[in-house]
Amino acid sequence: MVTSSAPGKVYLFGEHAVVYGEPAVPCAIERRARVTVEERDDDRIRVHAEDLSLDGFTVEYSSDSAATPDVDVSESVVEAGMRYVDAAVAQARDAADAPNAGFDVVIQSEIPLGAGLGSSAAVVTAAIDAATRELGVELSTAKVADRGYRAEHDAQNGDASRADTFCSATGGAVRVEGDDCRSIEAPDLPLVIGFDGSAGDTGELVSGVRQLREEYDFAADTVETVGDLVRSGEQALAAGDLDELGKLMNFNHGLLAALGVSSRSLDGMVWAARDANALGAKLTGAGGGGCIVALDPTDETQTALEFTPGCEDAFRAELDTEGVRVEDE
C-alpha cells in the first residue's frame, strides 16, 4: 500500500488560453489531495472518496462495466471525477506494463472538486505516483507530470494542457507554453481564495470556449490577448511588482468573463475583493463556479469575502514549493 499526495493550484494568469498553446502561470498552493493505492488480486477497481466537497462515496467496478455511486451531488461532477480516476489507473497500468492490475483506491482531498484549484490534476498526479509505486515502478517527477497530462487529456476529450498536472507534480510557480514546462521564481504572494461552494465541469467549459473560438474571430483574438497578458505578467512577477500583477489579474478576469466562463457568484466575489482594495482579483481555473484568487497583503479581502453573499469559504493560500510526494503512513 502506497500513499502519495500532490498540491492544488491557482492560476495567476492564462487558464483556457493555455489549451491553445498560449502561456500560463499557475502556482501550487498548500492544499493537497492524498491518494492511497493497494493492489488487488483481481482486475477490479474500488474507489472510496472523501472530502471532495461532497459526501464520501464508494464505488467498485471492473474495466468493462459502468458504475455510478449513489450520492446527493451533481451526476456530471461525480462522473467527471470517475473519468479522471479511470484515466489515472490506465496510465499507471501502462507505465508498469500491468494491464490487468486492480486497485483499491482511497482519495482524501483538501481541494474542493471542480472549483478551479486543480483538484483533478492533484488527484491524477498523486494516483499515478502511488499506483505505479505500488506496482514496483518509480517514475521521475517529469514522467509523473507527463502521465498526468495524458490522463487529463483523455478525461477531457482532448481539451487539456500540461499546466495543471505539471504544477501539481513539481510544486512552486511554473510557466507552461505548449509542451514547454518549467519552474520559475516567484516572490511571496499574498493570495486569498474565495470559494462559492459550487463546481464547474472543466471539460464542458473548455469545450464551450473552443466552440466560441471557432465561431467568432474576436473570441480567438481574445484568447491570444490572454497570452499577451501572461507575458506581461511574467515580467511583473520577475520584478516582484505586486501592483502590476494585480492590474493584470483584473484584466485577465474581464477577458475570461468575455469568453463566457465566469458566473454571477464568481463576479460577486471578484468585486467584493476589489471593493476591499485587493490589488487584483480573478476567477481561477475553468470557471462556471468555484473559486477566485485575490492579491492582498492585508486582512481586508478575506474579511470582505467572508461576508459576501454566495461565498462559502475564504482563506489564505501559501505557495507550496513541493510537488508530488510519498507520504509516511
Active site residues: 164
At CA 299, angle to CA 297 and CA 302, rounded to 5? 105
Grid cell digits, residue 28:
501550487
What is the spatial distance between Cα 312 and Cα 248, in angstroms, rounded to a whole number? 26
3-state secondary structure 183-230: EECCCCCCEEEEECCCCCCHHHHHHHHHHHHHHCHHHHHHHHHHHHHH
Minimal CA–CA distance to 236: which of 322, 295, 161? 295
Q: Are 117 and 56 in contact (CB under 8 A)?
A: no
Minimal CA–CA distance to 53: which of 121, 108, 130, 123? 108
Single-letter amino acid code for the residue at 161: S
Grid cell digits, residue 55:
459526501
Query: Angle between the 163-170 and 141-155 helix axes, to the nearest 10 degrees?
Result: 150
DSSP-assigned beta bridge partners for residue 317: 191
What is the spatial distance between Cα 236 and Cα 231, in angstroms, rounded to a whole number? 9
Dihedral of the CA atoms 54, 59, 65, 68 (nearest 10)?
-30
What is the spatial distance between Cα 28 and Cα 125, in angstroms, rounded to a whole number? 13
